[in-house]
Amino acid sequence: MHVAGIALDAASRSPIVLLRDPAGRRQVPIWIDQAQAHNIMAGIQGNEPPRPLSHDLMVSLLDAGELVLERVIIHAIEDSTFHALLKLGHQPCSADDDSSAPGQDAVSEEASIDPTAEEIEIDARPSDAIALAVRTGTGIWMLEEVVAEASIPVDAEADSEEQDEFRRFLDQVSPAALVRHLRSRQPGSDSPPEDDNEPTP
């Protein structure tokens, strides 16, 4: 998902952050407050405030703790409330780290990662997770079941055209041809499709 922008609810005038899927066909609105909207927009625009905002401070703390935000996951929606996770990992040691013993060959960055280091998961509000993601360039992921429940179509007219096209296809194809086509797509099916001039999907 990516942040498509900030909108205002026409009824309540509350800010909404819009997350859009990679295909650009569905977007998920998440209601937030004014302060959260300001923090997200500041991160998107790359503005540098005179003093660090809360999420700028969080990014600095992650860096000081040698942690990196690997992924943001919005994984559930309960009673119209979204739930998110921050997945944190440990920063790789630099290949030219001064802590290497004299004469010791420098190890590659990949080899310097501790394979036993566990991934850290932290519960977070989606607004905070998104504000961190836009500052660090981290991917925002959302479970398909959440998208299916909370998304709205971006282009309702295009969706309607696709539905009409599918209905026209169903009107033209015979049930027998549809069954043969579905069987031919099943794993392990080695029977060649019959050519009876019936349309196929």
pLDDT tens for 126-149 read: 999 999 999 999 999 999 999 999
Same domain flag for 140 and 184 = no
Domain assignment of residue 141, yes or no? yes
Same domain flag for 7 and 22 = yes
Domain membership of residue 15 as a residue range = 2-90+118-153
Whole-number Å distance between alpha carbons of 118 and 94? 19
B/e letters for 81-90, b = 16+ CB within 10 Å, e = fewer, are ebbbbbbbbb
pLDDT at position 36, please?
Answer: 92
Same domain flag for 125 and 201 = no
- How sure is the predictor about 193, in pLDDT bands with cuts at 50, 70 and 90? very low
Say if CB 21 and CB 27 are below 8 A apart. yes
- CA gyration radius for the chain? 25
Same domain flag for 148 and 162 = no
Same domain flag for 161 and 142 = no
Q: Flag whether the pTM goes above 0.85.
A: no
Same domain flag for 85 and 161 = no
